[in-house]
Amino acid sequence: MAKAPKARNGTPNGDYLAFEDNIAGIDRQISELQRLSSIKGIDYTTEVRRLEREKVAELKKSYSNLSAWQTVQVARHPKRPLLEDYINLMVQDFRQLHGDRRFGDDRAITAGLGRIKREKVLIVGQNKGRSTREKITCNFGCPNPEGYRKAILKMKFAEKFGLPIVTFIDTPGAYPGVGAEERGQAQAIAENLFEMSRLAVPVINICIGEGGSGGALAIGVGDRMAMLEFAYFSVISPEGCAAILWRDGSQAPEAAEALKLTSKDLLKLKLIDAVIPEPVGGAHRNIHDTVYSVEDYIVRTLRELRRFKIETLLQKRYERLRSMGSDTASIITRKTKVAQKRIKEAVAAIPEKPQPAKV
């Protein structure tokens, strides 16, 4: 099939990713048959249905074995559902809360009260914006310190009234500007980590897209951490990692594999608690089903967490955070010991240099 032309955003026609050429070709065939049907009055229903079945089969095949870099591309898809979509489709009676009482109201962080089914909750999430104007206003989802201070202020408000907290993580990272550093970006993130670890209410964290470094972790401490199937969570972006290690951004696919940033990898390493499945072809192809899956996970998890007394909940949260990465550390330790053993064997196998004869 002929390849679809790529748009400036790196996705063919703005809808298809680089690995979706076959899917784009099928969609073009369907569109052409529908156009001919309207012009000539010929019924192409059978052919269209056959092509739609082919498309579903191709989507299942493509998305069943994505590489880490392809997963990053899906997480960044321009049509992927954002925080606003989840609030509009899932949260009832949403009332937004503003400001950090220190500097301003960062639009990259949205916080507000609402109901998910029968559960009254506080929603806190990162907002990327959909249009160009919204993206600029929201710093492309990169919060300033006042955003994080707003988040923890509202979380403490929810704690005061016994309301559970649900956070939605979707950010490339905290905003790295000079002004953000001057206003205490690192301190704001650190304070959030500390305060969230001891909030006396259930806290659920869900990564719905990008989970970049401390910018994501600043609202990612809680009792349960879940990720959408094709989201990613990492200490650094693949491009940033490639620029540091190889001094070459084109090595991003290799960096993505090394970072183990996909939901499957993180679940295997026990760094997250659950993976929320996405519809065939990713969340951007069926926003409503994605939102329903997230809503179902939140309701089930809140019911589970409500069974614990607050003291027990805090103790379990502490134990969870303390044990995080323990399996990873043991794997690294084992590999290090094996490497050290091989180095010793290799050194022992090197023949000794003959000593010069004494005169």
pLDDT digits (tens, 9 = 90+) for 227-279: 999 999 999 989 989 999 888 888 999 999 999 999 999 999 989 999 999 99
pLDDT averaged over consecutive 10-residue blocks of the chain (359 residues)?
40 71 88 85 84 89 91 93 94 93 91 94 93 90 93 95 95 90 92 94 95 91 94 92 88 91 91 93 92 95 94 93 71 61 67 63
Element (H, E) at 347: helix 326-349
Contact assessment for residue 203 and residue 221, using Cβ atoms and an 8 Å cutoff: yes
Residue 6: what pLDDT?
43
What is the rounded CA–CA span in Å between residue 338 and residue 287? 47
Q: Tell me, what amino acid is at 197?
A: S
Structure tokens that stand for 143 in this block: 């919060």
Phi-psi map region of 142: left, alpha, beta (phi>0 left; psi -120 to 50 alpha): beta
Residue 42: what pLDDT?
78
Structure tokens that stand for 224 in this block: 């349960």
The residues spanned by each domain of the chain are 8-65, 75-323
Contact assessment for residue 153 and residue 100, using Cβ atoms and an 8 Å cutoff: yes
8-state DSSP, 98 = -
- DSSP reduced 3-state for 255: helix
The CATH superfamily assigned to 75-323 is 2-enoyl-CoA Hydratase; Chain A, domain 1 (3.90.226.10)
What is the rounded CA–CA span in Å between residue 291 and residue 293? 5
Residue 14: what pLDDT?
58
Instruction: Give the model confidence (pLDDT) of 178-187 as tens digits.
Output: 999 999 899 9
Residue 178: what pLDDT?
93
